[in-house]
């Protein structure tokens, strides 16, 4: 609880309409996705903050942070506020909801740079920059996320990472309200006011600012940043027909193709990933587990059940990559498609025909016919020209456009990425997911498949029949990762607890099996566990925190917390 | 009673995972960063509690016993136009009934006596008089006093014209719209009548503001009159009334046994059958505002018989699949078809249309209790209309018209004049036919 004097101080900074303290409003900032990350008893509620404040400028943020330093309060910023890491750690934390800071400040078309505020959503920025023949990296949680948050403060991996790297890599400059309240401009923005470099002149402090995972709001507030933009030669506008929830494009676009590539084994998929990376032919890519492949093809859960019950997809889509190929010229597009086909021949990959969606009845028959076939696609693998034929057949134009549209929304617009996965059970957890090598990612997906079996058998989590390692290759194969995803029932505390246990097992296995620092390895407990395994990075975090936040005014629950016993 | 109803929706609340998509139009149809917001309240107040997600979370907190039904909660919950955009946006990714939770939460707060004072006062008046007329001397038949129309059930006719004059505020715009509709029906040779001073209040305000018992009483009264007045077809002039009767009455009062059509649906039918012609050119570049309750909120409720099942541990599904109201089957084509039929009109669409149209700000009792929110939504929508290059915004609901006209002035954003779609039809009719028959 804040005193009236404290509330008045906040009102003096942002105005009365920018301060909320009512318990009902506070609870809307104590409820997030993935509560199992934070709440170990299977409950849903994170700690309730003492106030939520709406600053409209870096100056207001500075004033709030300075007041927190004087008064013993803590601040925690959030933008879209999707995950539990946006929560306050305890009472007397002020949440800075940055929704009023939503301006696209500049789009430098020639130098391919966008300067933005925290609440600029990816879908908005992308829509704007596409008008200029440019595109921006969007993280896999979807187009409704904050571009600044993923670039400055948390992870930053997305489906267009194959060609665009990841969000932290694309950061070119930052306006940073330090935990003490000073405003610091990082990189060239601080030197000459131009936002072309995050690292210089002079020694780079990007690692201090962001580190590997991001500081999750635990080290000051980022109030402006510049991100690198990439060339986009696809359409800058398009017509949409259909209605919620199925929006369909009216036409296909030149030099933009989507594929679902099925491989006969994990090893073949692994090799193809590297080869496509070397050839630099993918614009976007996503490793789609069988369950998610079927989920994406169906419109409701009964249909999903029927598709899975047929047994067909288990044989054909166990090792699938979906990708987008964009050609900046006709010649380049032709070359990329030729290279893709050559790689598929070498790895026995198949471009699955997306121009027809079988009915449940047809699938049942297909299931019976292919029951004794280990690989129903073997003919297409041996005779690749049949793939061209199958993909070219105008079997069903409506279905063809529907599939094309689904791929466009997924791989280009990021319109239904993470959110689409909530349909089966309304709950999703993730573990593992070290951003490392593509090989390690595949190892992680194998691990999660095995680990989930016990919980699937007890019907505590959803039986997805597979690994659900989701992710892909980044920077043309230089990096890769696969998150270990599972689906649970948020209405059932036992199911939530099971998800929490699996997250914990993933953390333990990351250490014991040397599978890298997992995606959920943030916060004090994780730092203590992983620091000693990784060059004692936790001690560096302690030093950074102590130097930049002497009054511990940033709520660093998911970054670094001081330990009274240390 | 209402708490039990709220608790019955707990699973719906728990489906929320705070992704904030309820604040935006569905992502595939985002075409301009300026016009990607979907929720008028979240856009104005910014705090998460004002969004569709916020209301799910607060409702859950309430039934978890973490918060109480107090004025703070009501101040947030009622600052909502009940437009239902959050429901559509969420259904883009999952089957969740956001609007039902919003309304159940309102109803519970009303029962607890904590609704904002402006809403309470108006509801008390409605409770006492069964209508919302502003002055004692205004009667529901005033708009037609000099027209010499048939008055049912004393007179007989095949069609009832039901402007829902009192629920529409009994203002000049509603009266003008009703009079022009009468002229159009006459010109087309339709045998129609009105209820005159016996016309009931549909209960729109009671529904919007969560007065469940009052709404049920008014809806039953209205439905009784519509069903027994001896017509086959009822034509309503306000989009909100259409949504109420078609989509909300079935749950509270029952299904209409007569064909209830919005005036745009009926005019489209007259044009198609050749009973109405529009020979005069009307030279405007127009854009069209989809009223929420004529559009996404007019879908008839889902009638489904089947089983809820669980498979694969915790995958829930319905068998056969339960149809879900996604807002896609509202009245969208009829008004557009009319605009396309008028010579000289150049029709341009806005960025947010059909099931993902942005609300005008006039619903939910917001103009009474939160006038600044109503102004903010109207100004934003008018700016969007002006940005299309249109010189005229057309709509098909008395409440949208009233709110645009009341709030558009001095908003600081771009201005554009607003007209009722029947105004354009009237202008496009043969002038002699129109004049002689009005």
Q: B 35-74 residues with CB below 8 A of A?
A: 36, 45-49, 53-54, 57-58, 60-62, 64, 66-67, 70, 72-73
What confidence tens digit (pLDDT) does each residue in A493-521 have?
Answer: 899 899 999 999 999 999 999 999 988 88
Average pLDDT over residues B339-364: 98
Least confident of A52-66, A80-94, B119-133: B119-133
Three-state SS at A422: helix
How many residues are there in chain B?
Answer: 438
Residue B46 phi, psi (nearest 5) = 70, -40
| CB-based contact B60:B13 (threshold 8 Å) | yes
Asked if the C-beta of A464 comes within 8 angstroms of chain B's C-beta atoms, the answer is yes
> Which residues of chain B does A29 touch, with a Cβ-Cβ cutoff of 8 Å?
48
pLDDT reported for residue A200: 79
pLDDT reported for residue B411: 56
Q: Do A31 and B18 touch (CB under 8 A)?
A: yes
**Structure-model confidence comparison of residues B337 and A433, the more confident one:** B337
pLDDT reported for residue B135: 64
Across A27-31, A87-91, A366-370, the highest mean pLDDT is recorded for A27-31
Confidence bin at A83 (pLDDT 50/70/90): confident
Nearest to B21 among A24, A419, A490 (CB): A419
Q: Do B57 and A22 touch (CB under 8 A)?
A: no
Asked if the C-beta of A461 comes within 8 angstroms of chain B's C-beta atoms, the answer is yes
Nearest to A82 among B14, B20, B73 (CB): B20
- CA nearest B76 in A: which residue? A25
Average pLDDT over residues B96-125: 96
What confidence tens digit (pLDDT) does each residue in B219-239 have?
Answer: 999 999 999 999 999 999 999
pLDDT reported for residue B434: 55
Least confident of A127-141, A325-339, A388-402, B299-313: A388-402
Q: Does the structure show a pLDDT above 90 at B431?
A: no
| Cα–Cα distance, A566 to A552 (Å, whole number) | 16
Q: Do A244 and B15 touch (CB under 8 A)?
A: no
Three-state SS at A434: coil
pLDDT reported for residue B432: 66
The alpha carbon of residue A305 and the mean position of all alpha carbons in its chain are separated, in whole angstroms, by: 27
Mean pLDDT over each residue of chain B, to the nearest integer: 94
Q: Does the structure show a pLDDT above 80 at A93?
A: yes
- CA nearest A144 in B: which residue? B21
| CB-based contact A350:A320 (threshold 8 Å) | no
Rounded to whole angstroms, the maximal C-alpha distance in chain B is 71
| CB-based contact A173:A166 (threshold 8 Å) | no
Asked if the C-beta of A459 comes within 8 angstroms of chain B's C-beta atoms, the answer is yes
Which one of B18, B28, B77 would you mutate to disrupt binding with A, by most A Cβ within 10 Å of its Cβ?
B28
Q: Does the structure show a pLDDT above 80 at A55?
A: yes
Q: B 19-38 residues with CB below 8 A of A?
A: 19-21, 24, 26-33, 36
Q: Do A304 and B14 touch (CB under 8 A)?
A: no
Q: Do A302 and B313 touch (CB under 8 A)?
A: no
- Whether a cis peptide bond, with omega within 30° of 0, leads into B199 is no
> Which residues of chain B does A44 touch, with a Cβ-Cβ cutoff of 8 Å?
14, 60
| Cα–Cα distance, B257 to B231 (Å, whole number) | 10
Helix axes B98-111, B212-228, angle to 10 degrees: 110
DSSP A182-228: -EEEETHHHHTS--S-SS-SSS--HHHHHTTT--TT-S-EEEEEEEE
> Which residues of chain B does A490 touch, with a Cβ-Cβ cutoff of 8 Å?
14-15, 17
> Which residues of chain B does A100 touch, with a Cβ-Cβ cutoff of 8 Å?
46
Which one of A7, A28, A488 would you mutate to disrupt binding with B, by most B Cβ within 10 Å of its Cβ?
A28
Q: Which residues pair with B418 in a beta bridge?
A: B393
Number of other CB atoms surrounding residue A5 within 10 Å: 8
pLDDT reported for residue A564: 43
Query: From its phi and psi, is residue A193 left (phi > 0), alpha (psi between -120 and 50) or beta?
Result: left
Burial A409-428 (b: 16+ CB within 10 A, else e): bbbbbbbbbbbbbbbbbbbb
Q: What percent of chain A has pLDDT over 70?
A: 99
| Cα–Cα distance, B2 to A532 (Å, whole number) | 56
**Chain A nearest C-alpha distance from B76 (Å):** 8
Burial A239-257 (b: 16+ CB within 10 A, else e): eeebbbbebbbeeeeebbb
Q: Which residues pair with A246 in a beta bridge?
A: A243
If 0-12 CB within 10 Å is exposed, 13-18 middle and 19+ buried, where does residue A228 land? buried
Q: A 235-294 residues with CB below 8 A of B?
A: 237, 240, 243-245, 247
| Cα–Cα distance, B115 to B71 (Å, whole number) | 7
Q: Which residues pair with A485 in a beta bridge?
A: A430
Asked if the C-beta of A513 comes within 8 angstroms of chain B's C-beta atoms, the answer is no
Q: Do A123 and B24 touch (CB under 8 A)?
A: yes
Q: Do B14 and A495 touch (CB under 8 A)?
A: no
Cα torsion A410, A416, A418, A423 to 10°: value is: -130
Tokens representing A208 are 């201090």
**Radius of gyration for chain A, computed over Cα atoms and rounded to the nearest angstrom:** 24
| CB-based contact A28:B16 (threshold 8 Å) | no
Confidence bin at A419 (pLDDT 50/70/90): low
Number of other CB atoms surrounding residue B192 within 10 Å: 23
Nearest to A425 among B32, B316, B356 (CB): B316
Q: Does the structure show a pLDDT above 60 at A255?
A: yes
> Which residues of chain B does A461 touch, with a Cβ-Cβ cutoff of 8 Å?
313-314
If 0-12 CB within 10 Å is exposed, 13-18 middle and 19+ buried, where does residue A336 land? buried
Q: Do B19 and A237 touch (CB under 8 A)?
A: no
What confidence tens digit (pLDDT) does each residue in B132-149 have?
Answer: 766 667 788 999 999 999
Nearest to B33 among A124, A425, A464 (CB): A124
Chains A and B form CB pairs within 8 A to the count of: 209
Q: Does the structure show a pLDDT above 50 at A263?
A: yes
Q: A 427-446 residues with CB below 8 A of B?
A: 427
Q: Do B327 and A244 touch (CB under 8 A)?
A: yes
First to last CA, chain A: 29
Q: Does the structure show a pLDDT above 60 at A566?
A: no
> Which residues of chain A does B54 touch, with a Cβ-Cβ cutoff of 8 Å?
25, 28
What confidence tens digit (pLDDT) does each residue in B316-348 have?
Answer: 999 999 999 999 999 999 999 999 999 999 999
The number of C-alpha atoms within 13 Å of A171 and in the hemisphere containing its C-beta is 34
How many residues are there in chain A?
Answer: 566
Per-state percent for chain B, helix, strand, coil, to nearest 5: 50, 10, 40
What confidence tens digit (pLDDT) does each residue in B184-222 have?
Answer: 999 999 999 999 999 999 999 999 999 999 999 999 999
Helix axes B398-407, B371-387, angle to 10 degrees: 90
Residue A540 phi, psi (nearest 5) = -70, -40
Least confident of A442-456, B134-148, B388-402: B134-148
Nearest to A27 among B29, B67, B320 (CB): B67
Three-state SS at A397: helix
The number of C-alpha atoms within 13 Å of A181 and in the hemisphere containing its C-beta is 14
- CA nearest B35 in A: which residue? A124
Q: Do A302 and B73 touch (CB under 8 A)?
A: no
> Which residues of chain B does A25 touch, with a Cβ-Cβ cutoff of 8 Å?
47-49, 54, 58, 72, 76
Asked if the C-beta of A106 comes within 8 angstroms of chain B's C-beta atoms, the answer is no
Average pLDDT over residues A19-44: 89
Q: Do A104 and B33 touch (CB under 8 A)?
A: yes
Tokens representing B102 are 């919003």
> Which residues of chain B does A424 touch, with a Cβ-Cβ cutoff of 8 Å?
312, 315-316
Q: A 345-384 residues with CB below 8 A of B?
A: none
Nearest to B91 among A244, A308, A413 (CB): A244
Three-state SS at B59: helix
ipTM above 0.90, yes or no: yes
- CA nearest A56 in B: which residue? B46
Nearest to B28 among A28, A415, A491 (CB): A415
The DSSP 8-state label assigned to residue B327 in this structure reads: S
Q: A 398-427 residues with CB below 8 A of B?
A: 405, 409, 413-416, 418-420, 422-427
| Cα–Cα distance, A200 to A188 (Å, whole number) | 6
Number of other CB atoms surrounding residue A342 within 10 Å: 13
Statement: the pTM of the whole predicted model exceeds 0.90: yes
- Whether a cis peptide bond, with omega within 30° of 0, leads into A178 is no
Asked if the C-beta of B94 comes within 8 angstroms of chain A's C-beta atoms, the answer is yes
Asked if the C-beta of A127 comes within 8 angstroms of chain B's C-beta atoms, the answer is yes
What confidence tens digit (pLDDT) does each residue in A232-247 have?
Answer: 999 999 999 999 999 9
């Amino acid at each position: 609880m804040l005193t009236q004097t404290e509330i008045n101080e906040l009102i003096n900074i942002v105005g009365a309409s920018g301060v909320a303290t009512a318990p009902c409003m506070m609870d809307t900032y104590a409820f997030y996705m993935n509560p199992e990350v934070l709440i170990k008893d299977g409950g849903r509620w994170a700690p309730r903050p003492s106030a939520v404040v709406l600053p409209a400028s870096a100056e207001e943020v500075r004033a709030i942070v300075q007041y927190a330093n004087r008064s013993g309060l803590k601040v925690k910023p959030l933008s879209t506020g999707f995950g539990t890491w946006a929560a306050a750690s305890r009472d007397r934390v002020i949440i800075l909801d940055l929704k009023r800071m939503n301006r696209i400040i500049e789009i430098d078309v020639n130098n391919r740079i966008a300067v933005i505020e925290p609440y600029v959503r990816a879908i908005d920025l992308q829509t704007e920059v596409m008008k200029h023949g440019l595109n921006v990296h969007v993280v896999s949680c979807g187009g409704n996320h904050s571009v600044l948050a993923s670039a400055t403060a948390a992870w930053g991996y997305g489906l267009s990472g194959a060609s665009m790297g990841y969000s932290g890599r694309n950061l070119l400059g930052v306006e940073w309200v330090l935990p003490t309240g000073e405003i610091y401009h990082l990189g060239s923005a601080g030197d000459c006011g131009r936002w072309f470099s995050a690292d210089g002149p002079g020694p780079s402090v990007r690692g201090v600012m962001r580190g590997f995972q991001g500081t999750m709001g635990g080290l000051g507030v980022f109030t402006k940043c510049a991100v690198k933009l990439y060339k986009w030669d696809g359409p800058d506008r398009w017509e949409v027909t259909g209605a919620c929830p199925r929006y369909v494009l009216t036409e296909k676009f030149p030099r933009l193709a989507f594929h679902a590539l099925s491989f006969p084994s994990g090893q073949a998929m692994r090799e193809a990933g590297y080869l496509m990376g070397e050839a630099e032919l993918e614009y976007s890519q996503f490793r789609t587990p069988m369950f998610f492949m079927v989920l994406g093809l169906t419109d409701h859960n009964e249909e999903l059940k029927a598709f899975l019950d047929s047994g067909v997809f288990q044989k054909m889509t166990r090792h699938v990559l979906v990708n987008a190929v964009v050609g900046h010229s006709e010649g380049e597009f032709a070359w990329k498609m030729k290279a893709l086909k050559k790689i598929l021949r070498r790895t026995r990959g198949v471009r699955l025909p997306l121009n027809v969606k079988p009915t449940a009845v047809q699938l049942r028959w297909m299931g019976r016919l292919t029951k004794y076939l280990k690989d129903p696609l073997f003919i297409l693998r041996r005779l690749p020209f049949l793939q061209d034929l199958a993909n070219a057949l105008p079997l069903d134009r409506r279905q063809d456009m529907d599939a094309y549209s689904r791929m466009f929304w997924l791989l280009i617009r990021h319109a239904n990425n993470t959110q689409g996965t909530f349909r089966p059970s309304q709950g999703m957890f993730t573990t593992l997911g070290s951003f490392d090598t593509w090989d390690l990612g595949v190892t992680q997906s194998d691990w999660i498949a095995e680990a989930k079996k016990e919980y699937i058998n007890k019907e505590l989590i959803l039986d997805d029949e597979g690994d659900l390692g989701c992710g892909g290759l980044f920077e043309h194969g230089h990096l890769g990762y696969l998150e270990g995803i599972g689906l649970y029932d948020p209405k059932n505390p036992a199911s939530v607890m099971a998800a929490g246990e699996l997250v914990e097992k993933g953390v333990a296995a990351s250490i014991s099996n040397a599978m890298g620092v997992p995606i959920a390895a943030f916060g004090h407990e994780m730092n203590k566990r992983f620091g000693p395994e990784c060059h004692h990075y936790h001690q560096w975090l302690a030093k950074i925190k102590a130097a930049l936040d002497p009054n511990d005014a940033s709520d660093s629950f998911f970054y670094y917390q001081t330990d009274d016993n240390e | 009673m209402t708490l039990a109803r709220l608790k019955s929706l707990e699973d719906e609340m728990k489906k929320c995972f705070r992704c904030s998509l309820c604040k935006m139009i569905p992502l595939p149809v985002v075409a301009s960063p300026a016009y990607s917001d979907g929720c008028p309240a979240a856009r104005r107040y910014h705090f998460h509690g004002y969004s569709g997600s916020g209301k799910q979370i607060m409702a859950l907190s309430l039934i978890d016993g973490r918060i109480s039904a107090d004025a703070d909660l009501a101040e947030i919950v009622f600052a909502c136009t009940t437009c239902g955009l959050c429901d559509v946006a969420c259904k883009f990714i999952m089957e969740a009934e956001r609007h039902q939770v919003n309304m159940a939460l309102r109803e519970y707060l009303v029962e607890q006596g904590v609704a904002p004072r402006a809403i309470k006062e108006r509801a008390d008046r409605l409770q006492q008089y069964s209508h919302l007329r502003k002055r004692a001397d205004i009667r529901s038949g005033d708009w037609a006093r000099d027209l010499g129309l048939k008055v049912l059930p004393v007179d007989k006719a095949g069609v009832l014209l039901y402007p829902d004059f009192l629920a529409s505020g009994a203002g000049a715009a509603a009266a003008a719209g009703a009079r022009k509709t009468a002229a159009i029906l006459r010109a087309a040779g339709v045998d129609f009548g009105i209820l005159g001073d016996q016309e009931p209040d549909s209960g729109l305000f009671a529904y919007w503001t969560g007065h469940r018992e009052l709404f049920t009483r008014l809806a039953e009264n209205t439905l009784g009159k519509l069903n027994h007045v001896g017509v086959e077809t009822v034509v309503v002039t306000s989009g909100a009334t259409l949504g109420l009767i078609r989509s909300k009455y079935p749950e509270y009062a029952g299904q209409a046994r007569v064909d209830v059509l919005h005036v745009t649906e009926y005019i489209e039918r007259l044009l198609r059958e050749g009973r109405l012609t529009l020979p005069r050119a009307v030279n405007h570049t127009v854009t069209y505002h989809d009223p929420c309750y004529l559009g996404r909120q007019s879908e008839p409720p889902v009638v489904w018989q089947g089983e809820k099942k669980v498979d694969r541990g915790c995958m829930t599904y319905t068998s056969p699949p339960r149809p879900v109201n996604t807002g896609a089957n509202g009245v969208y084509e009829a008004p557009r078809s009319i605009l396309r039929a008028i010579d000289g009109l150049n029709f341009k669409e806005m960025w947010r249309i059909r099931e993902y149209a942005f609300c005008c700000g006039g619903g939910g009792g917001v103009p009474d209790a939160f006038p600044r929110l109503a102004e903010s939504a109207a100004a934003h929508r008018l700016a969007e209309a002006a940005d299309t290059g249109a010189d005229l915004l057309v709509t098909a609901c008395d409440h949208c018209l009233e709110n645009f006209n009341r709030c558009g002035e001095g908003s600081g954003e771009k201005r554009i004049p607003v007209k009722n779609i029947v105004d354009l039809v009237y202008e496009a009719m043969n002038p002699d036919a129109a004049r002689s028959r009005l």
